[in-house]
Amino acid sequence: MLSGLVRLVFFFFLIYLGYVVIRVYRSLTRPRKPAPPRQIQGVMVKDDVCSTYIPKDDAIREVRDGEERFYCSEECRRKSRPA
């Protein structure tokens, strides 16, 4: 009786193992969909020093002589300052 139960459990284990192997194999051979391009929300502004466009929310903002200017980094901001 016990050996019959062990055989049954072993048989179901082999079926489950085969199922897992088939699923892994199918997932590896299935072509992958490319990731969608990243969408940037909001307004883009131009850094006049390096001509890079950046999201307005991420830009470093400075008001000089009544004019609002945007920079992509502190380095560009330093470069734009008069000597």
Range of the domain at 59: 44-80
Cα separation, 43 vs 3, whole angstroms: 72
* pLDDT tens for each residue of 9-50: 999 999 999 999 999 999 888 888 888 887 767 899 999 899
Task: Please tell me whether residues 75 and 49 are part of one structural domain.
Answer: yes
Cα separation, 78 vs 45, whole angstroms: 18
pLDDT at 14: 96
Show the tokens assigned to 20.
């897992």
Task: Please tell me whether residues 48 and 27 are part of one structural domain.
Answer: no
CA 10 to chain centre: 43
* pLDDT tens for each residue of 54-78: 999 999 999 988 999 999 999 999 9
| pLDDT of 7 above 80 | yes
pLDDT at 53: 93
Please indicate, yes or no, if residue 36 is contained in any of the structural domains: no
| pTM of this structure | 0.50
Task: Please tell me whether residues 25 and 49 are part of one structural domain.
Answer: no
